[in-house]
Amino acid sequence: MYWLRKDRTNLVKVCVLAPWWQKDNVRYFNIVPMKKSSVFLSILFILSVFQINAQDKVRVNQLVIVANNPGTVIDKDIYGHFSEHLGACIYGGIWVGTDSKIPNTYGIRNDVLLALREIKVPNLRWPGGCFADTYHWKDGIGPKEKRTSIVNTNWGGITEDNSFGTHEFMKLTELLGCDAYINGNVGSGSVREMAEWIEYLTSDSENPMTKLRKENGRDKPWKLKYFAIGNENWGCGGNMTDEFYANTMRQYSTFLNDYADNKLYRVACGPSDYNFAWTETLMKDAGTRSMFQGLSIHYYSVVDGWGFKGSATKFDEREWFETMRLNLQMDNIIKGHAAIMDRYDPQKTKGLVIDEWGNWFNVEPGTNPGFLYQQNSMRDAVTAAIHLNIFNQHADRVKSANLAQMVNVLQSVILTKDDKMVLTPTYYVFRMFKVHQDAQLLNIDLRCEDYVNGSKKIQAISASASVDKEGKVHISLANLNPNKPVVLTCPVIGDTYKKVTGEILTSSEMNSFNSFETPDVVKPVTFNGFSMKEGILTITLPSKSVVVLELTK
């Protein structure tokens, strides 16, 4: 809330209603005057906030940023990724083995490794997905020639030799410098199997699992941050009811011990989409609620239903619009589940973990339907920005998220083919948005025009802002309209910034993509479409674009 008031020197100043402190679930607020606001700027600011044209048909495009009252920290884990034994995500995408002619480190592709380091991957989820609830971890340890081969019944029915297992995954996270997120097997596993996996990974005491780990070449235990108690147990993970899963989860969680100084963040299998009843069941009972620290949510944007999901590159504006509209639904999904959690956990000790999200289209022609290989276009870049902006805005409850998936599957950031690698438009969005990791969320007020398609309309702009430890403000924006540029007025109140720089990702066509033949069609470039005057930014966002600005003092 913003308004004008006079200070002791009779100077009119812009003021903001800012949170002061909280007690007994009641919030108290303080009236904070914005620094260095002249009478002229104050009047201009108020007029711009309420400005509408005479016909009241076109809304003003305005983003107000309060720079001197930072809020919650945007957990870096919101920018996490997902790697499943699915198609060429692991085998050929990440793992080629130590005998491969493709340059590698411990069997992990060097080109992929370096690209992932560049976007500062904070955590990586493995081994699934649906695959997790058919995976038995002891099949993937020990000498490779003695490991048991398995059939991947979920994805393509292919035989895997288990050459990529626990040790290889943990080595990958070490090389990336990220936290491990392991998904346990509830669907077809056992309590003992899961408990022993935790012991094998994290225990340093004398016991059979520690001895086994040392025999397999790892003397010291690993650090393991996230551990999920099952995956999609309402579906491929066992087709359970919410009550049945809640009781099963309590049983499994009881035996997931913290060893030495390792502290597990236990993630309970949460709902899909709008299944609020599932969340209610897991949150309403204090005994159940005490057994986990995070609750997962899965949501995929599917344009025309699961029977025909549309092409990743050959689509019209209706499909573009529907993808945008479905992506924006993530905000309502989070709000709905967060509202339930707030009733039982007002202190927000439990986090939402959006560990599967992204666009799901038909596979590329000529590829195995079970491998879920799809191209990645400018449409995916804009929708990635939408999701990350939404996660930032809900940083008080959303503590981790994982794009599905990292390489060669669904909305991936990297595509590989033999010894070739290409970075997708979604990859570049993650590279641009990494500035938000562990920064503090800034309050914003966005008012913008609609993007209209037929009888439907959505907001034309997606945005979020943060301030990092060095005092730099970062503003991330996306123009969802593929046809029209948008001029955005952006008052930055509460502090003064002298320098603005920017980067933009856009393309000539809404279905532009990077291929192995033309890998640089969609790539970020320097952005200069802005001006700064008396604390007010004016930004011209080209159609179908993603922009990140940096403000320094």
Structural domain ending residue among the three candidates 438, 466, 483: 438
**397 and 469, same domain (yes or no):** no
Whether 105 is covered by a domain: the verdict is: no
Q: Is 550 a catalytic residue?
A: no
**388 and 472, same domain (yes or no):** no
**213 and 264, same domain (yes or no):** yes
What is the total count of domains within the chain? Answer: 2
CA atoms of 150 and 251, how far apart (whole Å): 28
**429 and 456, same domain (yes or no):** no
Whether 124 is covered by a domain: the verdict is: yes
Whether 54 is covered by a domain: the verdict is: yes
**231 and 371, same domain (yes or no):** yes
The pLDDT assigned to 59 comes to 62
The pLDDT assigned to 97 comes to 96
**257 and 366, same domain (yes or no):** yes
CA atoms of 91 and 334, how far apart (whole Å): 33
Whether 113 is covered by a domain: the verdict is: no
Tokens of 490: 């952006």
Q: Kindly give the confidence (pLDDT) of every residue in the chain, 553 residues in length, as a single tens digit, with 9 standing for 90 and above.
A: 444 343 433 333 445 444 444 444 444 344 445 444 333 334 334 444 444 343 334 468 999 999 999 999 999 999 999 999 999 999 999 999 999 999 999 999 999 999 999 999 999 999 999 999 999 999 999 999 999 999 999 999 999 999 999 999 999 999 999 999 999 999 999 999 999 999 999 999 999 999 999 999 999 999 999 999 999 999 999 999 999 999 999 999 999 999 999 999 999 999 999 999 999 999 999 999 999 999 999 999 999 888 889 999 999 999 999 999 999 999 999 999 999 999 999 999 999 999 999 999 999 999 999 999 999 999 999 999 999 999 999 999 999 999 999 999 999 999 999 999 999 999 999 999 999 999 999 999 999 999 999 999 999 999 999 999 999 999 999 999 999 999 999 999 999 999 999 999 999 999 999 999 999 999 999 999 999 998 899 999 999 999 999 999 9
Task: State which residues form the domain around 263.
Answer: 78-87+118-438
pTM attached to this predicted model? 0.89
**432 and 452, same domain (yes or no):** no
Structural domain ending residue among the three candidates 438, 460, 480: 438
Whether 45 is covered by a domain: the verdict is: yes
The pLDDT assigned to 307 comes to 84
Whether 102 is covered by a domain: the verdict is: no
Name the catalytic one among 84, 168, 322, 356. Answer: 356
**394 and 500, same domain (yes or no):** no
Dihedrals phi, psi of 108, to nearest 5 degrees: -95, 130
Cα-based torsion angle of the residue sequence 13, 18, 20, 22 in order, rounded to the nearest 10 degrees: 160
C-alpha to C-alpha distances, 487 to 270, 445, 530, nearest whole angstrom = 40, 16, 9
Structural domain ending residue among the three candidates 438, 461, 483: 438
**276 and 384, same domain (yes or no):** yes
Which of 313, 381, 329, 332 shows the shortest CA–CA distance to 548?
381
**369 and 289, same domain (yes or no):** yes
DSSP H helices, 95-159, are 110-118
What CATH number should be reported for the domain holding residue 347?
Answer: 3.20.20.80
CA atoms of 489 and 537, how far apart (whole Å): 6
What CATH number should be reported for the domain holding residue 49?
Answer: 2.60.40.1180
**352 and 406, same domain (yes or no):** yes
Whether 215 is covered by a domain: the verdict is: yes
CA atoms of 319 and 482, how far apart (whole Å): 12
Whether 206 is covered by a domain: the verdict is: yes
CA atoms of 511 and 376, how far apart (whole Å): 9
**348 and 434, same domain (yes or no):** yes
Q: Is 356 a catalytic residue?
A: yes
Name the catalytic one among 232, 319, 322, 449. Answer: 232
